[in-house]
Structure 1
Amino acid sequence: MGADLLPRSILQQYDLRKDVWGLLPPMTTPRYDAITHLIGSKLYVAGGRQCKRPVKAFEAYDTETRSWTSLPALPCKRTYAGVLWDPDGRLCLLGGLRQGGGHQSSKFTKNINVFDTNQGSWLKSDDIVSMKSKRADFAAAFLRGRMVVAGGLGHEPSALDTVEAFHPQKKKWEKLAPMNFPRCSASSIVIRDRFLVVGGVNQVKMLAPQLSRRS
């Protein structure tokens, strides 16, 4: 994705049968640490950073037409957020680091922004319930109809072990059993209604709130 001061806009594709990499049309906005999610034939790319500062850019790549479309900008500049797609065709951006006003540094957030992929617009924040804890760089999944987030970084000096889930009927977030080990930067996947959180980092050298690049 390039260095802090030289973000890239390239999109590459690997062909398993030919064992070769090919270049696809580049993004409109060069960036790194962007949030990506594939829905149908479209790859959504939200936020990210340029020169260590979060951006609002939001665009989608159509794998069928091989073209990019610029979408309505994020409600706030954001990076290191969680991303989920709910059954109603909405793309949910959870938590992350958002840019403060003026020259303020980035701050952890518990806010959620929801993009309606059918209407092509962001929903009003008044209709959305924020998470209990501010966090970034965490694992997220849609499990049995509930959004679940685990670990990440917050205002604590070390990674988080806390887990919470959104109950759609009660319209509130509820705490779940914590992970065995605190960690951030983990990979995750859902297999047969089980949320697997893989790897990660549990010792952080004062990265908050700017989340400097890890070595």
Structure 2
Amino acid sequence: MEGQSEVQEQKRKATGKRRLSSSSSSRSSSSSSNGNASADVEMATATLSVPKEPCRSFSGRKRSNHKNKKSAKKDAASRNTQGECVESSSVVDASPSQEANRSTSQSPLDASESSTVSDPSPAPEPEVAMVVAAASSREDVPIIPGLSDNTALVILALIPLSYHQPLKRVCKKWQRCLTTVESTNEVLDMRKFQGVKETWVFLLASARQQRQQWRAFDPVYNRWRCLPQCPCDYTFNSCDKESAVAGTHLLVTGHSSTGTTVWRYDLHTNEWGKAAKMLQSRCLFASASHGKYAYFAGGSCEGSVISSAERYNSQTRKWEPLPDLHVSRKWCSGCILDNKFFVIGGQGSEKQALTSGEYYDESENRWVIVENMWPAARTQPPGQTAPPLVAVVKDQLYAADASTMELNAYHKGTNTWRPLGPVPYRSVDASGWGMGFKAVGDEIFVIGGSSDRGNGTFCDQIHAWPPAQMQNADGWRLVGQLPNTSGFIYNCAVMIV
């Protein structure tokens, strides 16, 4: 027994020695492999990055993978629900404050960070306003959905010009259609093509208890609107002004603290702005409107009677020179007759009353004089009475005699005038001053003027007379009442666009 125990003890010692030697050899081998550690790490990383197919020899792994897929689907469903909640809250709870915008924009980022990289949640859709703004800027999107662009332009052309400015804010497509670029405007061009016309009568009248302000009257719908206050200085606001129309521009000339100034009101933008200065400063001139042009001729400059002429182009916003008149004249009147710019009557450089008239022939770029066109000048000394009150309806010239307030019609073939009858107001006390006498469409409008009572009182009414329906000046109809004015008209201009 003792011999066997000794033999077993020797075997255990031998076994322990072998284990010690194997462990030391493993340590030496591990130390020798330190030089290749980086290569082993790279290989291990590459091995982990390669997706392995699940081992199909073990049913336990199948079940575990199946459970993982179910849990992944549940996580994705929960993340989708969370994303929808974030999207709805960002649309409904939108706030203009920076803190609110910061909180709503941060929520989708938090939701995406909480999800795993292998299964990201779908990003929330953009807001409706952003979609509309992006779509409206594309060329392939129609102006009005469901309609062709040509039909949409016809619809926009029927909208009054005074509403075009707020309509530009609807979308970029509408802003482009309603904006004039390089003398081209799609809606205005469509208005001309369709024959859409809009009439406005601009008035500057004496105010009862407030500062003078330009007003516009729509005779079709019998409505008034106040223009924005002109940002002119006190000198210009209190001086004698003259007005004319070119396209959608109302031009008002006068003297400011810096000299002769022209202010321009644009009906399309509903804004005032300074226009370029005239080629020659003038006042007491003749003017007339014809399409995109406003014509000016004669007048007075620094006390001298002048004969120069020019016109304003509303598309280029520039002044263009015209040949000089045959006769220097001021206190004269202008009109467009047979597509020609006529200058009638006035006072010459020797303070003589002028009975002649002359017109500008654009085809030959010259003025043609018409003798004895205004014989009433013999009984109406210029300066003491108002300039000739003239208006043209369907290429027929009419005039009101300031001394008798009789309406007369001009016969072009014989160069004579035929009396038609009295106008609604005598206006004898004011010698024709303070009354608007204009052609509006197919009618003649008499605006304000002296009342029949005399004593310097004025009538705050508008009357109209249709020449085509009446042989004589009877049947004047009441159009409307002048608001907040005593009836004395300083300036009057008619715009038909």
Q: For structure 2, which runs of at least 5 residues remain unmatched after alignment?
A: 1-253, 457-489, 491-497
Q: Distance in 2 between matches of 1:164 and 1:24?
A: 36
| Shift in CA distance, 8/35, structure 1 to aligned 2, threshold 3 Å | farther
**What is the aligned counterpart of 2:263 among 12, 15, 29?**
12
The answer to whether residue 458 in structure 2 is matched with residue 184 in structure 1 is: no
Deviations 1:57-108 (A, max 9, x none): 2111212222222211122221222211112x211111122221xxxxx222
**What is the aligned counterpart of 1:197 among 446, 465, 488?**
446
Partner of residue 172, structure 1: 416
Partner letter of residue 439 of structure 2? V
Partner of residue 2, structure 1: 255
Partner of residue 208, structure 1: none
Q: Distance in 1 between matches of 2:419 and 2:278?
A: 38
CA apart distance, 1:21? 2.2
| Shift in CA distance, 176/54, structure 1 to aligned 2, threshold 3 Å | farther
The answer to whether residue 357 in structure 2 is matched with residue 112 in structure 1 is: yes
Partner letter of residue 10 of structure 1? T
The answer to whether residue 318 in structure 2 is matched with residue 67 in structure 1 is: yes
Mapping for residues 132-143 of structure 1, pairs under 5 Å: 132-134=375-377, 135=380, 136=382, 137-143=387-393
CA apart distance, 1:12? 1.9
Deviations 1:121-164 (A, max 9, x none): 10144xx5523311451310113442111133xxxxxx442433
Greater CA radius of gyration, 1 or 2?
Answer: 2
**Contact preservation (8 Å) 1:56, 1:78:** yes
Partner letter of residue 123 of structure 1? V
Q: Choose between structure 1 and 2: higher helix proportion.
A: 2
CA apart distance, 1:49? 1.4
Partner of residue 151, structure 1: 401
Partner of residue 96, structure 1: 346
**What is the aligned counterpart of 1:56 among 302, 307, 318?**
307
* Structure 2 residue matching 1:175: 3-state secondary structure: strand
Greater RCO, 1 or 2 (C-alpha within 8 Å, sep 6+): 1
Q: Distance in 2 between matches of 1:7 and 1:94?
A: 31
**What is the aligned counterpart of 1:81 among 326, 329, 332?**
332
* Structure 2 residue matching 1:187: 3-state secondary structure: strand
**What is the aligned counterpart of 1:35 among 260, 263, 286?**
286
Q: Distance in 1 between matches of 2:436 and 2:318?
A: 28
CA apart distance, 1:116? 1.1
**Contact preservation (8 Å) 1:48, 1:79:** yes
Deviates more, 1:142-151 or 1:6-15: 6-15
Partner letter of residue 349 of structure 2? Q
Partner letter of residue 373 of structure 2? S
**Contact preservation (8 Å) 2:284, 2:332:** no
CA apart distance, 1:197? 2.1
| Shift in CA distance, 55/64, structure 1 to aligned 2, threshold 3 Å | same
**Contact preservation (8 Å) 2:307, 2:324:** yes
Q: Distance in 1 between matches of 2:306 and 2:258?
A: 12
* Structure 2 residue matching 1:133: 3-state secondary structure: helix
Partner letter of residue 340 of structure 2? R
Deviates more, 1:176-185 or 1:42-51: 176-185
Partner of residue 189, structure 2: none
Percent identical residues: 19
Q: Distance in 1 between matches of 2:335 and 2:278?
A: 21
Partner of residue 295, structure 2: 44
Q: Choose between structure 1 and 2: higher strand proportion.
A: 1
Q: Distance in 2 between matches of 1:166 and 1:142?
A: 10
**Contact preservation (8 Å) 2:359, 2:367:** yes
Deviations 1:11-40 (A, max 9, x none): 222245765421222111112222222212
**Contact preservation (8 Å) 2:285, 2:333:** no
Partner of residue 405, structure 2: 161
Partner letter of residue 151 of structure 1? D
**Contact preservation (8 Å) 2:287, 2:333:** no
Q: Distance in 1 between matches of 2:368 and 2:361?
A: 7
| Shift in CA distance, 113/15, structure 1 to aligned 2, threshold 3 Å | closer
